[in-house]
Structure formats: structure tokens, C-alpha cells
Amino acid sequence: MSELRPDLAIIADHVAPASRVLDVGCGDGELMDVLRARGCDARGIEIDPRNVSLAVTRGLSVVQGDADTDLVNYPDNAFDYAILSQTLQTARAPDQVLTELLRIGRRAFVSFPNFAYWRVRLSLAWGGRMPVTPALPVSWYETQNIHQLTIDDFRAFVKERGITVEQAWFLTGARRRGEAAANLRAEHAVFLLRR
């Protein structure tokens, strides 16, 4: 099996074995595969039909759908964990997606690229261009990311909404960063949230 993306590896390591998990934007089911091997009941939602087909062919339970519209169809507390990896910034209404995530999951993992990462700031401040980095690899005109955010934005958001942060991880590539100056130094972040 190929190496899991760093944020997915952190999530996989912190999901309790044999949990019920919903992976929103599950791609081809990479993370679900690992979770299933750990005895989890993993379900997925994915918008791209090619990816859905790959995941179903892998024997995973994946539904073709859109995080923005389809989460309302899941009952309250249906899952121990709801996962949203690198998808928040692509949602039309990220605040509503987060609300739904914490309604259907008792806990939620959310990972996203940090727009306040120093390379991003440099690119914009000195280069005057929209950044293209490993975490944000696509040019402005073709990016899916319509709601860019920073770690501090996210912290402010969850505080405002009264959401509890159980744990947070900050990464540059696969390398862990400390909490200190994470907003500047981390390329992406993973948060474990609770209502």
C-alpha cells in the first residue's frame, strides 16, 4: 500500500479502532481502506465518479455525492467520527458543512491547507502572485479552493461557534510543527473537533 498523505496518516492514527466513520470527500478511498483494516465501519462520500468507482471496486461503501448538499441526509450521531480532509476550502458553504459534520459525527477531523503559511505570504506579498505550493498546487484559475483560510481563521471560527478543539496537528510536508507560530510556519493543519 502506498504511503498515506501526512494529514490522513495523523487521522488514521487517532481514530479509535472499530469506530463508525464517515469520510467526506474520500477520494479513491485510501484512508477508508486503512481504517477498514483497523476494524472500522467506514463510509464515504465523493463527488468525482471516477474516484467513487475506484473506491467501490475496492469494496468500500462510497456514495457519489456533494458535501455541500448531501450531509443533511445523514441522521444525528450516525458516526463516531466524520472526516473532512482537504475539502473544507472547496465547499460552497464551509460553515454549514462543519455544522453538519458535527451533527452526524460525535467528533470531526478537519484538515486544510494554511493560507497564512510563510511561503504563501511571500508569494503574495513579494511576488504579487497567487501562491502555488505543494499544499496548494493548482493555479488560481483552475483551483477548487474557493474559500481559502488560515489556521488562525479556523481557530477564531471554532471559538465563535463554541466548538471544542480536542487536538490539533500542524505540518509542513510530512514534518510536524509545534503550536508556536503555527499560523506562519505550518503548511497545513489537522484539527480534531467536538461539539
The phi, psi pair for 61, rounded to 5°, reads -90, 95
Subset of 41-100 contacting another protein (CB under 8 A)? 41, 43, 49, 52-53, 55-65, 70, 73-75, 78
Shortest Cβ distance from residue 66 to another protein (Å)? 11
Rounded least distance, CB 47 to another protein, Å = 11
- Smaller CB separation from another protein, 63 or 132: 63
Looking at the Cβ atoms of 77 and 144, the one nearer to another protein is 77
Query: Smallest Cα–Cα separation from 22: which of 60, 69, 57, 68?
Result: 60
DSSP 134-179: SSS-S-TTT-S--S---HHHHHHHHHHTT-EEEEEEEEETTEEE-S
For cell 479556523, name the residue.
154
Residues 6+ apart with CB under 8 A from 38: 12, 15, 17, 18
Minimum distance from residue 52 beta carbon to another protein (Å): 5
Report the residue number, 58 or 155, with the smaller CB distance to another protein.
Answer: 58
Interface contacts to another protein, rule CB under 8 A: 41, 43, 49, 52-53, 55-65, 70, 73-75, 78
